[in-house]
């Protein structure tokens, strides 16, 4: 595997300080060395530098639109460059608003994508349905073609062209979905495997059925957007919006091993690691180590040795 890593130290899609430290704590946990240790060729493109935007007043309830829009344009350009250079792209967040740029830049390189969204949350609020105005709860609404009529004009968002079809999206791990999000998911017929299905089917069946769904027509490259809060807080405590009843470590890793063996993984985001949300330093380190293990699973690490 040839891997290109981008660090996106960005936190303005949500209100909690610390998630901008995600890229560096994940690197400090040994990501590059461990990828190389399992035979990957790794190019670390370093961290993007995000300028601040003054007077970034909310638009309606939507908070920090200008700095989020600007940051995601940088992410989109960087991801497209990594793909043009021939690597599988690993985008280290930072909050989940960064998926706007990551998926947009990936789709600019490869227009036909399937998106596997692993998360406790659906992150599909529109600016008008969001209960918080935090853009990390909204990224999918800007990307899904069928929602484009529901999105108001926002400053620094005009570059975004919806690039994903609802039928090409699958969710795994949902357990904290807002009522309006649930309506959108149902209305668009988006395939979801919430934690009830993970329990009733088991993760192996979930992954089989997920692939049946996204590959039902033609096989499209996979964009895996992995929110660390999909995992149970006992496994990934250092995150901003923890929700109990999450994926076990083994289920979380199985997802990455399964996606890896499809041979179709083209880009992966690992987001929402926030060391400042840990009660103790070792919780932050533990969470970073789990994030590293997820990436290693994406690139061929198997538990049998």
Please list the active-site residues: 96, 119, 121, 123, 136, 227, 229, 272
251 is in the binding site of which of Mn ion, ligand X7A, none (Cβ under 5 to 8 A by kind)? none
* Residue whose CB is less far from ligand X7A, 176 or 301: 176
Closer residue to ligand X7A (CB): 227 or 293: 227
Q: How far is CA 79 from CA 4, 87, 107, 232, in A?
A: 9, 10, 10, 29
Q: Does 120 bind Mn ion (CB under 5 A)?
A: yes
Q: With binding defined as CB under 5 A, does residue 150 bind Mn ion?
A: no
Contact 70, 101 (CB under 8 A): no
For residue 171, the SS3 value is strand
The residue among 22, 26, 46 whose CA lies nearest residue 94 is 22
User: Which positions touch ligand X7A (CB under 6 A)?
Assistant: 96, 119, 121, 123, 125, 130-132, 134, 136-137, 176, 178, 227, 229, 241, 272
Q: Least distance (Å) from Mn ion to the CB of residue 187?
A: 4
Instruction: Report the C-alpha gap between 290 and 270 in whole angstroms.
Output: 11
Please tell me the distance from the alpha carbon of residue 287 to that of residue 274, in angstroms, as a whole number.
9
**Which residues sit opposite 231 in a β-bridge?**
247
247 strand-pairing partners: 231
Tell me the two tokens of residue 46.
């370093």
Answer with the entry of ligand X7A, Mn ion, none that 187 interacts with (C-beta below 5 to 8 A by kind): Mn ion
CB of 76 to ligand X7A, least distance (A): 18
175 makes contact, choosing from Mn ion, ligand X7A, none, with CB < 5 to 8 Å by partner type, with none
Q: How far is the CB of 219 from Mn ion (least distance, A)?
A: 26
The closest of 131, 63, 115, 299 to 224, measured between CA atoms, is 115
Q: Which does 130 bind (CB under 5 to 8 A by kind): ligand X7A, Mn ion, none?
A: ligand X7A
Q: Which residue is nearest to ligand X7A (CB)?
A: 137
Minimum CB–partner distance for residue 104 and Mn ion (Å):
16
């Amino acid at each position: 595997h040839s891997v290109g890593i981008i660090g996106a130290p960005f936190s303005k899609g949500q209100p909690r300080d610390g998630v901008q430290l995600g890229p560096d704590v994940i690197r400090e946990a040994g990501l590059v060395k461990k990828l190389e240790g399992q035979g990957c060729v790794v190019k670390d493109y370093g961290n993007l530098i995000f300028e601040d935007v003054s007077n970034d007043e909310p638009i309606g309830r939507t908070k920090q639109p200008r700095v989020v829009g600007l940051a995601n344009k940088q992410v989109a350009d960087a991801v497209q460059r990594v793909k043009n250079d021939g690597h599988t792209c690993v985008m280290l967040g930072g909050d989940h608003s960064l998926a706007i740029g990551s998926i947009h830049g990936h789709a600019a390189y490869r227009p036909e994508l399937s998106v596997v969204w692993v998360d406790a949350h659906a992150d599909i609020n529109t600016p008008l349905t969001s209960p918080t105005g935090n853009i990390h709860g909204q990224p999918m609404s800007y990307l899904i073609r069928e929602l484009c009529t529901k999105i108001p004009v926002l400053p620094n968002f005009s570059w975004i062209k919806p690039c994903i079809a609802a039928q090409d999206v699958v969710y795994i791990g949902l357990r904290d979905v807002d009522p309006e999000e649930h309506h959108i998911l149902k209305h668009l017929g988006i395939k979801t495997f919430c934690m009830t299905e993970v329990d009733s089917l088991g993760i192996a069946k979930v992954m089989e059925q997920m692939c049946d769904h996204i590959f039902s027509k033609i096989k499209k490259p996979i964009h895996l957007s992995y929110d660390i809060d999909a995992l149970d807080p006992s496994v990934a405590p250092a995150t901003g919006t923890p929700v109990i009843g999450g994926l076990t470590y083994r289920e979380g890793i199985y997802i990455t091993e399964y996606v890896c063996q499809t041979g179709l993984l083209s880009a992966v985001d690992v987001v929402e690691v926030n060391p400042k949300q840990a009660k103790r330093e070792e919780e932050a380190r533990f969470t970073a180590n789990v994030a590293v293990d997820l990436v290693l699973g994406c690139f061929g690490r198997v538990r049998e040795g």
